[in-house]
Amino acid sequence: MNYLEHIIADPNIMLGKPIIKGTRITVELILKKLSEGYSLDEVVADYPQLTREDIFATMEYASDVVAHEEMIRV
């Protein structure tokens, strides 16, 4: 899956936070719901404009961001 087909960041929408295309639903919100124990189906039920693929793209995006994170020692 290519998460770029699902996720955009536009400085004019939600202060530039990554969102699902065509919505104002942030990657952050979806990850928060999943971390609180919501299932994929529960997230889709709460936000019917989302698809399961949008949620998988969100997780792939988060994984890619963490994979490229660097620790800087102070």
Q: What CATH number is associated with residue 40? A: 1.10.10.10
Is the pLDDT at 70 greater than 90? The verdict is: no
Residues 6+ apart with CB under 8 A from 40: 34, 52, 55
The pTM (predicted TM-score) of the whole model is 0.88
pLDDT tier for residue 69 given thresholds of 50, 70 and 90: confident
Rounded Cα–Cα distance for residues 12 and 31 (Å): 22
The answer to whether residue 48 sits within a structural domain is yes
Looking up tokens 């979806």 gives: 30
Q: What backbone torsions phi and psi does residue 8 show, to the nearest 5 degrees?
A: -135, 165
The answer to whether residue 72 sits within a structural domain is no
4-51 pLDDT per residue, tens = 999 999 999 999 999 999 999 999 999 999 999 999 999 999 999 999
The answer to whether residue 73 sits within a structural domain is no
Q: What backbone torsions phi and psi does residue 26 show, to the nearest 5 degrees?
A: -85, 155
Is the pLDDT at 71 greater than 90? The verdict is: no
- How far does the chain reach from its first CA to its final CA, in angstroms? 37
Enclosing domain of residue 25: 3-67
The answer to whether residue 51 sits within a structural domain is yes
